[in-house]
Chains A and B, each alone.
Chain A
């Protein structure tokens, strides 16, 4: 059934890595095939942060095909060469796991489409996120396992969204895990709880318009759908409102950008969402216990209504 959670601090930063871990761990009964974080950390905004993978987690429960670890090094080497060819300078490199890397890149370009296409033309390589604040970290296991594996509990930032996944429509692997990056837009990410029934129709249309899909997970459609709307000049909120009729099925989803966080609920209100809103903090999740992990005191919360779209700024 999956669980989603998100929070945005307005006017200040906080330990969003630890906070989101607590929220998602509270929802682990909704699915722990994989867990993903989209963290908007405090950065100087000069360099791009690229999170990418050169292979899959093939551990217990994974539906991915086992590969020789040596191919990871080969793919990384090609990525490095490609970046150099494009004039992108890697300022800082971290390799948390053999298949998962984080690069800080000095690269002065606004259109990430060509950049992303070249990187992802390397077989086995997928950009999980690209942005000057956003970092998408996702892997198999529950929230605490992923948080510990990637040392996320110390991440400080303004907002974050996350997802605890029970795999239904696609495999148990990182490529099908949420959040999805709003390719090719910098700092856009999406998490979704529900099921989209016009996935293939929309996918065909969007692919014909040059958009890219990395998985067969229906939720990825939301990220691509909104990214395409924004590419055509729509605001985040306009794109989200269009999705209420453009997407068919049941859904509650969150979208985050560099400075905002939004939620949308389908017109049948079939998927849950509990929301807490104050002047300095918005926290929301599939269940109230997610919010209680960051706000244990008695608070006023509510369920947004059907067809509701809300967007908050930091």
Chain B
């Protein structure tokens, strides 16, 4: 139970193809996040799983049952797919109390009254809204409304949960809180979850596995660790990470990547290739010193952004901008000389033409 299978899904609106031949398997109990910029086709994919949109081609299988197949002429409507879906806008019915919002669908299913009352109480308890049953949605705060939407799902006990940017309407602080409770919800229900977001923090913190989409195609698929440390291509490298990854374009010479004012050490396998490359390194993987060290390269400081626990430093090596991330609250005046060194293990290398990570090419 709980498996989701997408096979060769194609969807277009008019001439715009929003999903291009998508294959995807979500294992039972897995928390999968589809991450991508707006318009990448992630929400459309989710809505096709839910049955709210129809693919132009391909097939979808939920819980070992084919719910859509263009070729075999099968369309199971959303009513009969037995999924849970949380909308960005929560979609609470404004004319019904919290209790009615949660129990409306249960009454449809001819569940006994005592069972419904039991489930309502249980669901409200789980989202810590006991005592709010008779309120109307307009009398609740944004976070509480969100929790009612979650409680509505809990009461239905679906084996598959779909979430469409459920946290994007909340303020930053509430978001962190709700993130934790969504993760708890997934753990407690044990339901297969597909979570759609454009927020990488949500994706990295919540997921067992992340799929990064762009222009209707999967860019990379992997664990949060993999996605962050081994981006498959320049798109993923730039999309993930805040502050963004540093990319240096240069020519290989003498075992180094010569980027002008900066040169980057290369592992021998890469250095032997010759030609041009793009090297990427995350801001926190560049070491910094206030005194000159042997082999370290000199840069000067620009704008500093202390965020409390960390400080983002924008520095320059002649005209090449580099972003650094250091722990602690750092204050330095502009144009102070600094020395930097790259953690060679943390470097990624990309083909300048294909923009693909060279790791993928070797294998």
Do A and B assemble together? no
